[in-house]
Structure 1
């Protein structure tokens, strides 16, 4: 089954590639690998939520942040597709996720499951990857989550 067919089966439409917010490319191919820039959870060019992740008033809750990590992963796949044309024959090797965290928040790995889970749903075994989940003080544009990935072209 093609990845486009799998996306349709899952009801997922990849977005257009998010425009860079500074001097970089959304994705770059080097040999058999594609490296994405950090992808924010843009939806139609906007961040749906901003702020730090944690518990309490004025903070982004973990469930919302998990959904945002999923959106980041889909944005990263759109960036990969923009340089290789098709996601067929792509294997996800590494995911790095950053969570703008309240100092007391320690659930970064659970938040990044939003990205990892959707990649597994789309690619099956080829979506199984190594991962880092890092808590940070702040992210660009006050985004709660940012995800980058490395994809290998196997076909």
Structure 2
């Protein structure tokens, strides 16, 4: 893996990490081209700054209602957050394949105490969401909605 990117739905970049290994996840459990959640683990001296960079687009696990997005009969996902968060596009290279998916990043654990690289750790869970899926904010208003096939743009 030589890079890891996070961007908003409109393509505006949030973070481009890499090629330095201290900026890349040390563990990725799952694949973006599947529908199951993907666990991302960063453990390095850069974990603190990565957590700060992604703070505006990640959802704290305690602020995500139902613990995960709900799936409608149409195949769309709906998530409700009580604080910040956005729907993002995550991309990276895995086994020479460029993988990308759209969904939400949930902050599971952020242990970024003082010290060396083994002390600083950031654990995220990425939930892929299909076209037409939406993220609702604290007031029940739509924060982000992934475009579906009937409007311009592509959601996945």
Q: TM-score, normalised by structure 1?
A: 0.33
Larger RCO of the pair (alpha carbons < 8 Å, separation 6+) = 1
Higher strand share: 2
Higher helix share: 1
